[in-house]
Amino acid sequence: MAKIIMGIGASHTTLMNTQWAKVDHLPEAHNFKNALHQASAAMHALKPDLAIVVGSNHFRGHWLDMMSSFAIGVDEIESSGEHGTPKGAQKTSPDNALTIANSLLDQGYDMAFSTRFVIDHGISHAIQYLTLENQIPIVPIMINSFAPPLPRLERCLTLGKAIRIAVETLPDDMTVAIIASGGLSHQLPFPDWRKPKSDNDDFLVDSWKNGRGDWERYEKRRRAIIVNAPPRLNEEFDETFLQALCDGKTEDWLKTISEDTLVETAGNGANELRNWIVMHSAINFATGKTLAYSPMPDWLTGMGVFICEPN
């Protein structure tokens, strides 16, 4: 029976690629990058046959003209390559991806699927630093984190359990790593598309509605809005969440927070914790350890790396 042999949760940021010189003097920046390398080395030492990467979408591959709560790439995977992340075709495993998709459907998850799945740094950051670009075939699963209405937190928890069962339907002796790519506490200047409040909000919503195939037309202003956003971090929140992961208590932690209080406490970027919840549920809430954590206002995000193996 195939099995999940490792789980990783890692924050992502394109600012690490584009503005490294500004943080090169900060030990916490190096600690985060080193933790990514350490997690990657630990995973490669286990030689998984496949990596399921659970990540978010920043309106490069999925748009407001058709947004799904959950989507899986079952054939070609194309990375948009924005801001120094991998660009172009990625290493895939179509047969195994389709097996996982079928199992999730059988379990009541009506996953959207794509035979030409376009990803952005919400997934490709993990490919760049963890699977090391085409060294391990991946199955990408996108969780909608920025285009409300979002999938409910509890639904993400049960999706993780369904993924664990789906992995067990893969060919015998296969080993799988599952990676969550997403931020801890942070606030992106992404408005609720249903109620934009400023000229920049209107611009971003327009880019999300009309950017498919033409996103570079919007990119310069989009980037400026994001890079100049004020940081909003919550170190206490991040540390509490990471400790829950380390203790194998994610389900208990989830009972302490609602959809609304998550955003109020940790910012809209914390909606990406859905990816971490899926990952930890998929590996049955294994205890683990935090390799690095620091609030990083220069990157607008609480930056952490967590790893675990089945208990």
Q: In the structure, what pLDDT confidence band is assigned to residue 283 with cuts at 50, 70 and 90? A: very high
Q: Does the residue 32 lie in any domain?
A: yes
* H helix runs in the chain, sequence order: 15-18, 27-46, 94-106, 121-126, 153-167, 199-210, 216-227, 235-246, 250-254, 259-266, 273-282
Q: Give residue 290's pLDDT.
A: 98
- What is the tally of structural domains in the chain? 1
Predicted local confidence at residue 103, as pLDDT: 98
Q: What is the DSSP letter of 195?
A: S
Q: What pLDDT band is residue 213 in, cutting at 50, 70 and 90?
A: confident
Maximal CA-CA distance, the chain: 55
- Name the H helices within 47-149: 94-106, 121-126
Q: What is the CATH number of the domain that holds 127?
A: 3.40.830.10
pTM (two decimals):
0.97
pLDDT value at 17 more than 90: yes
Asked whether residue 21 is assigned to any structural domain, the reply reads yes
Segment 226-241, tens digit of pLDDT: 999 999 999 999 999 9
Q: Average pLDDT for residues 20-40, to the nearest whole number?
A: 97
206 lies in a domain? no
Q: What is the pLDDT, as a whole number, of residue 252?
A: 97
Q: Does 216 score more than 90 pLDDT? A: no
Q: 3-state DSSP: the chain helix, strand, coil percent, rounded to 5?
A: 45, 20, 35
Q: How many CB atoms neighbour CB 78 within 10 A? A: 18
Range of the domain at 292: 3-188+229-308
Q: Does 94 map to a domain?
A: yes
